[in-house]
Amino acid sequence: MRNKIIENIKTIFYAFIIAIIIRSFLFQPFYIPSSSMEPNLLIGDRLFVSKYSYGYSRHSFPFSPKITNKRFFNKLPKRGDVIVFKTPTDNRTDYIKRLIGLPGDKIQMINGDLYLNDAKIKKIPVKIDYQINCGNQILDVSSYEEYLPNKIKYTAVYKKKGTLLNTDEFIVPNNHYFFMGDNRDCSRDSRFLSSVGYVSEENLVGKAKIIFYSSDKNKGNFFKFWKWNKSLRHSRFFKEIK
């Protein structure tokens, strides 16, 4: 009996170690709790983030242990990547946003248009009526396909009334990055220097790769299986994140 208990403990321990290795060095699951990346990421999406895409830092590991301030096997992210990072204000909270500005870039909103290094980012209106949320509100938005200089395109939405037309000019420091949410008027991101601001390369956690599961919590949850036909978003299962 005693030997069986010891073997079970060993099995649990080895499984725990393997899980930690996979989570720290390969893939980590994340849950989307807010609407800041709508319409591309929805509340209730569950996704895998690759931990190896940009190398490793202390934030690659559970609880971000203060063992080093360096990155190892560092790889530079690409403009337009959807990235999970730790917020600079507490080095603990996970945010997911789109990378817009690289070190040395100049970024500014002018008359509702996004400018990158004094060049206006091309955007084309999209004739799709998305239901865009912001907390308990549903926003009346205009949708656009935006095209970054490296030919990455994505959908971004702006409020038809009350959108943030103009901002200060932001110049991204060395070894830092500038992030924005695709739901432009419902995103706490690098435009807000006191709460997010410029994100150090050390704070990058990984690249969002694929949605493996998605459900609308307003229509049911995992345990109410009789509502799965209404709550599960089957079309989003195993959807690549762009």
Catalytic positions are 36, 97
Question: What's the CA gap between 163 and 137, in Å, rounded?
Answer: 15
**Which tokens in the block code for residue 151?**
């030919």
Question: What's the CA gap between 43 and 33, in Å, rounded?
Answer: 5
Residue 101 makes CB contacts below 8 A (sequence gap 6+) with 79, 107, 116, 170, 172, 177, 178, 179, 190
The angle at the Cα of 209, spanning 125 to 95, to the nearest 5 degrees, equals: 80
Element (H, E) at 20: helix 2-25
- Helix (H), strand (E) counts: the chain: 2, 17
Q: What does the chain come to in residues?
A: 242
CA torsion, ordered 130, 134, 140, 141, to nearest 10 deg: -60
